[in-house]
Amino acid sequence: MYLKEYRICMPLTVEEYRIGQLFMIAKHSHEQSQQGEGVEVVTNEPCEHPQYGKGQYTEKRIHLSSKLPAWIRSMIPQIFYITEKAWNYYPYTETEYTCSFIPRFTVNIATRYEDNNGSTENCLELTEEELNEREVDFIDIVSDPIDDYKYKEDEDLTKVKSKKTGRGPFTEKWRDDTTPVMCSYKVVRCCFEVWGLQTKAEGYAQKACRDVNLHGHRQAISWMDEWIDMSLDDIRSYEGKMQKETNEKVLQDMQGEETPVKDDENAKSTSV
């Protein structure tokens, strides 16, 4: 198993990010989806945990065959998806990724959000053994390079300034001199129990996780003026609209029957 902890700081409060993450996930999922590929929401309903209280459970199918490297595509059927199950007890979330075609592959992500710049050393209460195995990776949404084809000037946080909050543009040392600042602590556990491919597959999963979080969180900040004034009711309404449009986009021309979405009209949420 490959265990890694990502720390993603943002110029927000934890309460602001509660809205921002939902907006980012909904809009990002819609942007990245196309006919036959993207994020299909299957279930979206309330849940409850004895320790964390009430939350929201979502189940999604991520159709992405053409975006995988050739060595993985050679092992899988043409119609392929990964299942994402997420339990959101904000400010704590749990997410699990599995693949029915490859039963020995799992990715588990535990996330907690705190109002600091990534200074908590054991935010997710890892065991001593896990701490010894852990690799900590700070994802810098301002300075870390991204792929050229993903670059957009209006998402470049060294150039973007929020008109509504006055935040930005940000400098190289922004984490130490920006207020407010918060951190998303993510412990990612990748496991692929197939001899000969374990290291390669687990490394690919960790890289994919890092890339998605870097790109998505850059967008959350660059889109700040679109969501900063939204209430929780506003973002639920927006999420429901985008969920419907994205499902229609993904399921168009796909083979097989469409899967109905179980949904609670008063509570729409997901995780990062």
Three-state DSSP state, 206: helix
Q: How confident is the model at residue 68 (pLDDT cuts 50, 70, 90)?
A: low
pLDDT over threshold 60, residue 164: yes
Q: What is the mean pLDDT of residues 49-53?
A: 94
The predicted structure's pLDDT at residue 67: 54
Q: How far is CA 130 from CA 161, 204, 207, 210, 225, in A?
A: 39, 21, 20, 20, 39
Neighbours of 121 (CB within 10 A): 8
Distance (Å, whole) CA 180 – CA 19? 16
- How far apart CA 191 and CA 103 sit, in angstroms, is 11
Q: Do the beta carbons of residue 214 and residue 137 sit within 8 Å?
A: no
What's the pLDDT score for residue 263? Answer: 47
Contact present, 157 and 169 (Cβ < 8 Å): yes
Predicted local confidence at residue 188, as pLDDT: 97
The residue-averaged pLDDT of 193-204 equals: 77
The alpha carbon dihedral of 208, 244, 263, 269 has a sign of positive
CA 97 vs CA 79, 121, 223: distances in Å: 17, 26, 27
Helix (H, G, I), strand (E, B) or coil at 63: strand
Residue 226 confidence (pLDDT) above 50: yes
Q: What pLDDT is recorded for position 85?
A: 97
Structure confidence by residue, pLDDT tens digits, 126-162? 999 999 999 999 999 999 999 898 899 999 999 999 9
* Distance from C-alpha of 1 to C-alpha of 79, rounded to nearest angstrom: 27
Q: Supply 252's token pair.
A: 């168009």
Question: Is 227 in contact with 25 (CB distance < 8 Å)?
Answer: no
* Beta-bridge mates of residue 44: 58, 263
Q: Which carries the bigger pLDDT value, residue 156 or residue 255?
A: 156
d(CA 85, CA 106): 11
Confidence of residue 271 (pLDDT cuts 50, 70, 90): very low
And the tokens for 78? Answer: 């043409």
What is the per-residue pLDDT for 139? 98
DSSP state of 141: T
Res 253 pLDDT > 70: no
Cβ neighbour number for residue 130 with a 10 Å cutoff: 16
Q: What are the counts of helices (DSSP H) followed by strands (DSSP E) for the chain?
A: 7, 9
Give residue 69's pLDDT: 53
